Amino acid sequence: MTSTAATHPSPAANVLPADRAIPITQVGLIAMDMDSTAITIECIDEIADFAGVKAEVSAITEAAMRGELDFQASLRKRVACLEGLSTKVLAEVYAERLKPSPGLAELMAHANKNGVKTLLVSGGFTYFTERMRQRFGYTWTRANTLAEHDGRLTGKVCGAIVDAVEKERLLRFFASTLPADRRASIALGDGANDLPMLHAATLGVAYHAKPKVREQVPVAINIGGLDTLLALLP
């Protein structure tokens, strides 16, 4: 088995227009995708490695992130490949393969210091989002739950799937709970299933994103880590 961090062919420069800057005192919410945004891997691809089907699952993941496949259907297809795996694999992926993206700690520390609420919203899995919440202090997390029985994955997902529509809904919902003077929201993501959330935010940021995302989002971090965003938060 091999562990390979997600890589993103990127344009030559960041796109950080000064006129898109928002004073941190006006920002109430920073929402971000997890896989390939808050962290450097796609968790489902690494889990699939333990089942010997990483190449097949990774190909589906890439197509889904490019917007070529229905996200819900593609997720169910990928999760089905995990049937029978020990749930101990999740702990191994977290401990041995999951790496926070560069600059995440700095961005989260800045948000927490300035009273900004944070949301980690993922089409991935609650096993990992909950541990990221504990580690970095996210205010809220939302993701999908892998079904299990007798210590093994069943190949199914519990309940409704967190997809592009749900990501947008969650951003709008949590933003609506903020004080009137801190309603500005920021969203970061890399895949096509992040686009509705990025469009709904006051400031959407494409982070080492797929071409379809970079084409539609006017602010982009193509070089450097998540803390690059701080340049737009005076």
* Catalytic site positions: 33, 35
What's 38-105 look like in SS3?
CECCCHHHHHHHHCCCHHHHHHHHHHHHCCCCCHHHHHHHHHHCCCCCECHHHHHHHHHCCCECCCHH
Q: Which residues pair with 141 in a beta bridge?
A: 120
196 in helix, strand or coil?
helix
CA distance 145 to 129: 10
CB 141 within 8 A of CB 130: yes
Tell me the C-alpha to C-alpha distance, in Å, between residue 154 and each of 86, 141, 145, 146. 10, 23, 11, 8
CA distance 230 to 234: 7
CA distance 63 to 162: 18
CB 118 within 8 A of CB 135: no
Element (H, E) at 29: strand 27-32
